[in-house]
Structure 1
Amino acid sequence: MTSQTQNVDPAIESAVTEAVAIGIPSALSDLGDLVRIPGIAWPSFDQTQLERSAERVASLATGTGVFDDVRVLRAAIPGTDEHGQPAVLATRAARNGKPTILLYAHHDVQPPGSDELWDTPPFEPTVRDGRLYGRGAADDKAGIMAHIASLRAVSEVFGDDLDLGVSLFIEGEEEYGSRSFAQFLSDNSEALRADAIVVADSGNWDSTTPGLTVSLRGNARFTMKVRTLDHASHSGMFGGAVPDAMMATVRLLATLWDEDGAVAVEGLSETDTETPDYSEETLRDEAGLLPGTSPIGRGSILSRIWNKPAITVIGIDATDVASASNTLLPEVTVVISARVAPGQSGEDAYEALEAHLRAHVPFGAELTFSDVDLGDGFLVDTSGWAVSLARQAMADGYGADPVDLGVGGSIPFIADLVREFPAAQILVTGVEDPHARAHSPNESLHLDTFRHAVATEALLLTRMNEITG
């Protein structure tokens, strides 16, 4: 769609922003109700909670009065006889030549981890010091409520004069790999087809400055088993002559980085783009870096996070400390998570990683690779009309000019959106600030950031409703 925005009546925009402000307490109350539902897609957790969560989101969507149809659906997981977790799909058709916007978020959350690491219970929403604490309070139930609250405000002001087409897609397994996502898009392609897509699952520059995410790293995650013995042996009787699996694993993993901590794997690429100023002091504050610990890598700090690969060992199976004995371990299993620079495919990155590990394996240890999970990065074409509208809405909704962000994390399903809807403009936004601690204990939402995010989206919807062409 090539579009030209018409002048929006200032009185209408004023009415929308006033409706947003009036609706924030209700939106936060509804957000608290969502946080109380521990919807986690890992099979070891109660899966009926995801059904509760989906039904609650469907009820919220229906309550906006915007949609012609609201359903809870599941899609098949390709290559299996299973179905994915429940997702909510709500739709209304565009009228009078107006465009259609697709609003995405997810209702599943990360496992809470150890309760003792939380200052307050993870599924009991708690407000203190201008923040709402709880698992999913930021990632991504706040994204859901930003959509719902903005739709409520727009519907209240426009009523039957709202001609904009709107689709709402709230996924139920984003934190568990979006295994049925591509199939869901295929099954519901006509209902989801849109001129612009808002993915409310990213962050902002800080709590008062909005960010539009224009690049995301991809990912390559896999499990590697290292074996050196066919059974455990006495470390006193054979240590010094026999390499155990832990020794081989430690030596092998160390080859992934150089002395500066930069990735040292041939075949992993970098992207060359400018980054805003960002100090080491800010990094220390936002990441919680201990005073005696130095940052790793080379180049500007944000280039290391946005434009270069990173490798993290996120899991290891070996004898735990409480059960330690004088034994040479026959095998050790690790999970390796690599973030891939935008522009390189997850598949190419994984091939480079496996080749490196096989080439550097010490003592002839046996390597086995499994559970490979890949995702591609994302680079936004910032020249489109939707990007321009979004930037202006952010400037007005926050009262501050937005910053174009790269993000070190990955949202692999965006590649599926690009493939299924190549003509759509994708806007990656969010309600998180750098202190949200998504995925960590004491996850929280900055309340003023949420208010600004809702105002931004409501203004974007209002202005899209005036587009013709």
Structure 2
Amino acid sequence: MTEPSPDLATAVRALMPRAQRELAELVAFPSIADPQLGLERECQAAAQWVADALRAEGLTNVSLIDTPDGSQSVYGELTGVPDAPTVLLYAHYDVQPQLDEAAWSTPPFELVERDGRWYGRGAADCKGNILMHLTALRALRESGGQVLPVNLKVIIEGSEEQGTGGMEQYALAHPELLTADAIVIGDVGNFAAGLPTATASLRGITEVSVEVRTLAGNLHSGQFGGAAPDALAALLKILASLYDEHGATTINGLPADQTWPGVSYPEDRFRADARVLDGVALIGTGGIADRLWARPAVTVVGIDVPSVVGSTSSVQAGARAKVSLRVPPGMSIETAQDALIAHLEQAAPWQVQLTVTRLNGGHPFLAETSGPAYEALGEAMREAFGTDMVVAGEGGSIPLCNTLRTLYPKAEIVLIGVEEPTTQIHAVNESVDPEELTRMALSEALFLRRYAQVWQG
């Protein structure tokens, strides 16, 4: 087993208390980029924190970029190294809503150490990855004070979770800004804690809003129930049609038999990672990796209906749901959304009034895994973790990836991060394993050092 470079490994370890303090500062901002929540000032404060951190590390031309969707991205650079490649580091500072705050074991916007993990919204997705970048850069500087071996650009966006495309639109309008030889997307994680992983595949995402109307107003269920068309019942029938008897996604016109050629995902480990309750069956057919990374998957992410508390005995006049469809590489999100809408319309019973509204989306992504960046990353991760890097898929979406590939077709795009399966990103009690953050920061520092060597041949 290769031992990590002692200077970098020591530097990273020494920097972890600072990383914890700064992650606590960053987590304290409820930087949710949903304009309906009125948290613009918190988002701006988080962006300013990132800008100040980049300046403190000596980056130049640090600026807050106003993007077309109203969010701010943070840019900085450190260039001027002759005959060296340019590396772009990416992450985002916006986070998902905290959901049910009462379900959190600790306050969601307070970083709390418990049982060897750091808990808080954004601790992993994606503020933990911002600290991964910062710690890697600091370790390179402090382990002997050498000049950074590559030219560097950093972009930290502010609306990735909302999928409104602010940074994508800005990049397309300013194609010179993010040009690089290698792009490190810090917004994923390892296949399992302690197993170094490069993510080579991302599913895309497309969403729609489905609204059913049947009556001019709610009706007494005793007086009218049994004949009056119930909008909620109609909506449930429509949504149920999206799944077959095994729970697999079944949308007319969309193939759902693709297979994943890479690393497998054992069912027992998936059940543990997903915290599936004892006795509850998994949904779908085929291998777990096929279902997660190679096939379309539909999820009902929200329903507007009366809550149980305070409900009345009424036939519902209207009901609405938000439906999310994950789209595998090789499938167009436009084709997938068209198929989803057509399916929903065909499934509507009782001639109800149905309105389907197209929402935001992002394209799937498939990376090329050969080249100097992947070679350097494999060596760096092997040294940092003591085991070989694996290549896996990821069911989530990062819309900017395809924009960057379109703008810079010769650039290698690698996806890494601290978000291993037990971090519970997008859920309550999100957390990060500080040991993963330590090893990923070391991996990135080693990568930046070695990429320049491999790139030059």
Q: Distance in 1 between matches of 2:94 and 2:19?
A: 18
Aligned residues: 453
Q: Which residue of 2 aligns with 1:459?
A: 446
Q: Is the 8 A contact 2:64 2:72 kept in 1?
A: yes
Q: Distance in 2 between matches of 1:418 and 1:278?
A: 28
Aligned match for 1:25, one of 8, 17, 42: 17
Q: Which residue of 2 aligns with 1:55?
A: 48
Cα deviation, residue 12, structure 1: 11
Q: Distance in 1 between matches of 2:19 and 2:203?
A: 32
Q: Is the 8 A contact 1:94 1:100 kept in 2?
A: no
Cα deviation, residue 194, structure 1: 0.3
Q: Is the 8 A contact 1:244 1:328 kept in 2?
A: yes
User: In the alignment, is residue 358 of structure 1 matched against residue 345 of structure 2?
Assistant: yes
Residue 59 and residue 408 in structure 1: after superposition, are their counterparts in 2 closer, same or farther (change >3 A)? same
Q: Is the 8 A contact 1:233 1:329 kept in 2?
A: yes
- Counterpart of 2:250, as a letter, is A
Q: Distance in 1 between matches of 2:61 and 2:449?
A: 21
Aligned match for 1:293, one of 250, 259, 280: 280
Q: Which residue of 2 aligns with 1:155?
A: 141
Local SS of the residue matching 1:392: helix
User: In the alignment, is residue 433 of structure 1 matched against residue 425 of structure 2?
Assistant: no
Cα deviation digits, residues 107-140 of structure 1 (max 9, x gap): 1111112222111111221112221111111111
Cα deviation digits, residues 401-427 of structure 1 (max 9, x gap): 122111111112212111222221110
Unaligned runs of 5+ in 1: 1-9, 78-83
Unaligned runs of 5+ in 2: none
User: In the alignment, is residue 417 of structure 1 matched against residue 417 of structure 2?
Assistant: no
Cα deviation, residue 275, structure 1: 4.2
TM-score w.r.t. the length of structure 1 is 0.92
Local SS of the residue matching 1:323: coil
Cα deviation digits, residues 209-247 of structure 1 (max 9, x gap): 111101111111110111222333332233222321112
Q: Distance in 2 between matches of 1:433 and 1:34?
A: 20
Residue 421 and residue 178 in structure 1: after superposition, are their counterparts in 2 closer, same or farther (change >3 A)? farther
Q: Is the 8 A contact 1:269 1:341 kept in 2?
A: no
Q: Distance in 1 between matches of 2:188 and 2:4?
A: 29
Deviates more, 1:439-448 or 1:230-239: 230-239
Q: Distance in 2 between matches of 1:308 and 1:200?
A: 24
- Counterpart of 1:465, as a letter, is A
Aligned runs of 1:367-382 on 2, under 5 Å?
A: 367-382=354-369
Q: Distance in 2 between matches of 1:21 and 1:221?
A: 42
Q: Is the 8 A contact 1:12 1:157 kept in 2?
A: no
Aligned match for 2:205, one of 219, 234, 238: 219
Deviates more, 1:371-380 or 1:152-161: 152-161
Cα deviation, residue 191, structure 1: 2.8
Q: Is the 8 A contact 1:89 1:169 kept in 2?
A: yes
Q: Which residue of 2 aligns with 1:37?
A: 29
Q: Is the 8 A contact 1:94 1:163 kept in 2?
A: no
- Counterpart of 1:57, as a letter, is V
Cα deviation digits, residues 64-84 of structure 1 (max 9, x gap): 12x23211121223xxxxxx2
- Counterpart of 2:339, as a letter, is A
Cα deviation digits, residues 48-77 of structure 1 (max 9, x gap): 111111111111111112x23211121223
Q: Distance in 2 between matches of 1:147 and 1:15?
A: 18
- Counterpart of 1:115, as a letter, is E
Residue 398 and residue 189 in structure 1: after superposition, are their counterparts in 2 closer, same or farther (change >3 A)? same
Q: Is the 8 A contact 1:92 1:166 kept in 2?
A: yes
Q: Which residue of 2 aligns with 1:174?
A: 160
Q: CA RMSD in A?
A: 1.9
- Counterpart of 1:119, as a letter, is S
Cα deviation, residue 283, structure 1: 1.9
Cα deviation, residue 103, structure 1: 0.2
Cα deviation, residue 163, structure 1: 4.5
- Percent identity for Structure 1 against Structure 2: 38
Cα deviation digits, residues 379-419 of structure 1 (max 9, x gap): 11112221121122111111121221111111122121112
Local SS of the residue matching 2:15: helix
Local SS of the residue matching 1:191: coil
Aligned runs of 1:243-322 on 2, under 5 Å?
A: 243-270=229-256, 271-322=258-309
Q: Which residue of 2 aligns with 1:80?
A: none
Residue 178 and residue 241 in structure 1: after superposition, are their counterparts in 2 closer, same or farther (change >3 A)? closer
